[in-house]
Chains A and B, each alone.
Chain A
Amino acid sequence: MAAQYPGNLDSIKPGDLLAGRESFRPFIGFHPEPLGGPGLGLYCKEDELREWMNEPERTEAEAHKAQTLLDFWKNRTVHSLIRSSFDQDMSEEWTSDDYINDDGASFPLYRLALVNLDFGRLMRRGLPGLREDILTRKSGAEEAWRFAELKGSSLSDFIEGLEGALDVLESVLSHFLDEARTLAGRLDLSAEQIDRAANLALCLESLLHNAPDSLQEALQLAWITAVCAGTWNWGRMDDWAGQFLVSDLNSGALSDTDARELILAFYDLTRERSNVFNNRIILGGLGRNNTEEADVFARFAMEVFDAHPGVEPQLTWRFHTESDSALHSLALDLISRGRSFPLIYNDDAIIPAVASAFSVDERDAVNYSPQGCGEYVLGYSGTGTPNGIINLTKCLEAVLAGGRSMMTERSLGPTHSSPENIQTFERLWEAYAEQVEYHVDLLARFQNLSLKTAGENSPFLLISLLSDNCLEKGLPLLSGGARRIGCSLEVYGEINAADSLSAIRKTVFDDETLTVAELAEVLTDNFSTPENQILRQKVLSAPKFGNDDAVADSMLSLVHNHSCRVIRESAARVSMDYHLAVIINNSVNSLWGLNTAASADGRSRGEALANGINPAPGQDKAGLPALLNSLLVPELGTHAGAVQNLKLSSDFFKEHRDVLESLLKGWFGQGGAQLMITVLNEKDLEDAYVHPEKWPNLIVRVGGFSARFVTLDRTVQKEILDRTLYGR
């Protein structure tokens, strides 16, 4: 840590309200989740380093140095240590970690992601208080009259390590203090810039000696600590920062505008450090300590975002029946303006679901945080990193192709029987379940291996210091310190697998149009011949999830409940507290689609897999209520997050706001957990114009009636497009 910080951080710029920009991402270092390369703890981004080494402007000495580093780290990074500990099954199944370019039904991921720090404790104690806590723990050990004997033991190493981690934080603050003082003395700067530098110096100096006492100090300390710890998320920020905001506003230390500028400065830091899959700020929800102040912060946070929109930070609004209605309305306002944030989460449905999935009581579940792409983690009580991905559509592909990929013919999983032997739907399901369970088991073993190996080699001191129980137990996070050790598993292709199974049941087993073996040939052929195109139309017309169709929706339930259950049950076998499915939103569904053969639901080879737990693109054709009915079908209490999207027209927000609000209220009242709402704008309409097949449900208002966009004449579509583009 001392080698990395403050060295890796950028200097304060004139006018900055907060210090600690981090734009530099070194090739080699220590980080829980380095971007751009696999690893956790000690890492080396070999590909990036090699690329750098081969750039034409490299000198021979530089290239030589790079090669020396590559050789040195080859067997020393935590990633390589984990890989070299693979058992035979893992080595055979995962010949590569490259899930983007290589063919596979599951892949391991190497990271300690989605960590939440206990910012509340950091705020209450400040650096001096934390040092005091460490000393107390140390003297407790001394009082056990054996500290001398403990010297060199894991406890004494850990405690010394924690002191060292605090030393680093202090050295970073001191470093920026010097910089701020220098800036404040520069004659070429404007009075405002000098003023800001002087204030920043006061803020940094105070943090060296006291717990934070102002919003600026709170944000500064949180930022520096998270950057040095390598974490990307901000937890329940309204709760830990609200009291500082309100007290500064009340005392007149900050004007309303000053406070907004500070929050924006914090947003800007997150935007420069950029990690679009993280940077969550949780607002609202049950279980906050300072509700009133937190609500004030939540309002500021949303309004500042509204005035300065972006893709980060990922504002997240947790609400429940007693939530402040003005704040809830503000959240919807932002969404209606196409901000796509905040992401909204229904505590009333999620808290009981989290309690059930994680097997904790509601007092713990109340601190769930939707992180990253939609995975719930339990506050700062342990780990919840998603370190594996599985493709259920690919698992079905492997079954249909006799245990091989239709793309490269590589062997996948345990299936060996030929498709000719699959004569009933039950037999097909058994083979599919066996394939899925094999990968889940492999990944569960991997998750355990990765955390264990990381724990042996990387103590993650700052994270340990600001996680439940580690200091008290005297153990680092991954070596027995965490209150709970668990992981999640990213599940993709769930919808396409379910729709494929529905289509197979209908065309193969009910209608007997073709056999499983013939279907496998059609899929390998990617529906290219005229006869196979006719078959494609047949499978496309089979029931699909998202249409309030009992057959399709119950198949989805079967697939969903099966994968969620087997993942959840695998935790006990590898001594984790939990291992849970997450069915989330990111780009893996598209990337993995590229390596997935045509599927029996009619999806062609290379086409994206359905995103999250949403209908396959273009397959929800029965209207919004039908879609909502289907979305309520999958169980909530067996996974750690399933993302559901809703694309609504901006007219819905503008002209029928009351209907929309009551509809959302109804949806959440029915047990809807969350919704990611997109308001259709010009870009969406343009896409609908270019790819009408993806937008069968897009209804546009054309004069006295509503029309499906795709059924309109091209010129009419163009006209609507133009009208929208010019905002007329």
Chain B
Amino acid sequence: MAAEGLILEIQRGTLHDGPGMRTTVFLKGCSLRCAWCHNPASIKREPEQRKRMQNNQLIEETAGYSMDSDSLISLVKRDLKWFSSTGGGLTLSGGEPLLQSQFVCEVLEKARSSGIHCCIETSGAVSRESLEQCLPYVDLWLYDWKHSNETELRQWTRANLDTIRNNLNFILDRGGQVVLRLPLIPGVNDTEEHWTTIGDIGKHPNILAVEILPYHAWGRLLWEEVGRPLPPDFRVPEKDQINQWILILENLLPQGKLKNRI
């Protein structure tokens, strides 16, 4: 009996979630509550009603549906030829995919046996068991690093820094390949402490790249769609400020590791 997963959306032909052209599966459910979350429909661990604008009309729909691992894999495999020509593959994202570790693990195992390159995007705020279970099948981890200060991280996201740090080290020690992803929010995590920590982490040879994701306000409106109160209105960084961050990080990181993903 194939495991079932709760899925928010499947995008075929993505370019920003790992190498090549990929199929990205956004799983629904997340234990964090990041104040800047740009995909709030992915938070709740069950299907929910969503009102949104489409073609200038307000439509009501259910966000989230179940799918078993076999159906998902057969959909993913339809793009095998494009994965192989572009060096792409499958990315499991969220929400937090590792909250559905049994499903994820099954999907990864089947994907790998079909020769598909697999990425997982995770916040790291997950159980060690779920990581360990999936580790053998993951080619590349897209690992979020949201804050380097224990108190601040908890305040902005409810996450525990030790868990995230230990899990990252666990992956790196086990030889996992990692791209570190940095959501950067002015006044929240553009701190000296954060830069220095990233500089240290980034020296590890298994950190293949560091990507910055400067804050934008465009996800803010999506909170209303799923009936959540509007989050704080952070300041959107100017181009100059982003360039300044890039300069700081380039100085701290080994050459060529910083990738600007705007």
Contacts and interface: CB of A to CB of B under 8 A. Distances in A.
Nearest to A694: B55
B216 A702 contact: yes
Contacts of B20: 659, 662
Interface stretch (A192-200, A281-289, A708-716): A708-716
B243 interface: no
Contacts of A656: 15
A687 B261 CA distance: 26
Contact of B262 (A548, A624, A665, A703): A703
A707 B218 contact: yes
Contacts of A665: 85
A311 B76 CA distance: 40
A72 interface: no
Interface in B143-175: none
A418 B196 CA distance: 79
A721 B198 CA distance: 34
Contacts of A655: 15
B86 A663 contact: yes
Nearest to B83: A625
A663 B181 CA distance: 26
Interface stretch (B6-14, B96-104, B122-130, B131-139): B6-14
A666 B86 contact: yes
A706 B23 CA distance: 13
B38 interface: yes
Given A652-B15, A659-B15, A663-B86, A710 B54 contact: yes
B213 interface: yes
B39 A625 contact: no
Given A625-B12, A665-B85, A659 B21 contact: yes
Interface in A606-628: 622-626, 628
A665 to B, nearest CB: 6
A728 interface: yes
Interface residues of B, number: 37
B85 A662 contact: yes
Interface string A653-680: 0011001001101110110000000000
A666 B82 contact: yes
B95 interface: no
Given A659-B20, A663-B21, A710-B55, A704 B78 contact: no
Contact of B218 (A626, A652, A663, A712): A712
B82 A663 contact: yes
B87 interface: yes
A624 B81 contact: no
17 contacts: A623-B13, A624-B21, A625-B12, A625-B13, A628-B82, A629-B78, A659-B15, A659-B88, A663-B85, A693-B55, A703-B214, A703-B216, A704-B181, A707-B218, A710-B55, A711-B54, A716-B221
A705 interface: yes
B79 interface: yes
Contact of A703 (B55, B86, B215, B239): B215
A455 interface: no
A321 to B, nearest CB: 14
Contacts of A706: 11, 14-16
A703 B85 contact: no
A656 B86 CA distance: 10
Given A623-B13, A624-B12, 18 more contacts: A623-B11, A625-B21, A625-B78, A626-B13, A659-B15, A659-B20, A662-B87, A663-B85, A666-B82, A666-B85, A692-B56, A693-B55, A703-B38, A703-B214, A704-B261, A705-B16, A705-B39, A728-B239
A25 interface: no
Interface residue SS majority, chain B: mixed
Interface in B36-85: 38-39, 52-56, 78-79, 81-82, 84-85
B78 A548 contact: yes
A699 to B, nearest CB: 8
A711 B85 contact: no
A662 B219 CA distance: 32
Nearest to B184: A704
B11 A625 contact: no
Q: Which 8 A-B pairs have the closest CB atoms?
A: A666-B85, A704-B213, A623-B12, A703-B216, A624-B13, A623-B13, A625-B79, A625-B82
Interface size class of A (residues with CB under 8 A): 35 or more
A544 to B, nearest CB: 15
B254 interface: no
Q: Which of A624, A701, A714 has most B Cβ within 10 Å?
A: A624
Interface string B195-213: 0000000000000000001
B149 to A, nearest CB: 21
Contacts of B213: 703-704
A705 B216 CA distance: 10
B186 interface: no
Contacts of B176: none
A435 B118 CA distance: 51
Contacts of A705: 16, 38-39, 219
Contacts of B88: 659
Nearest to A618: B55
A331 B213 CA distance: 33
B86 A626 contact: no
B96 to A, nearest CB: 15
Which of B78, B86, B214 has the most C-beta atoms of chain A within 10 angstroms of its own C-beta?
Answer: B86
B92 to A, nearest CB: 15
Interface string A503-541: 000000000000000000000000000000000000000
A710 B87 CA distance: 29
Contacts of B11: 623, 706
A624 B82 CA distance: 10
A702 B222 CA distance: 14
Nearest to B213: A704
A712 B11 CA distance: 16
B82 A711 contact: no
Nearest to B80: A625
A705 B38 CA distance: 8
Given A659-B21, A670-B81, A703 B218 contact: yes
Contacts of A626: 12-13, 78-79
Contacts of B218: 702-703, 707, 712-713, 716
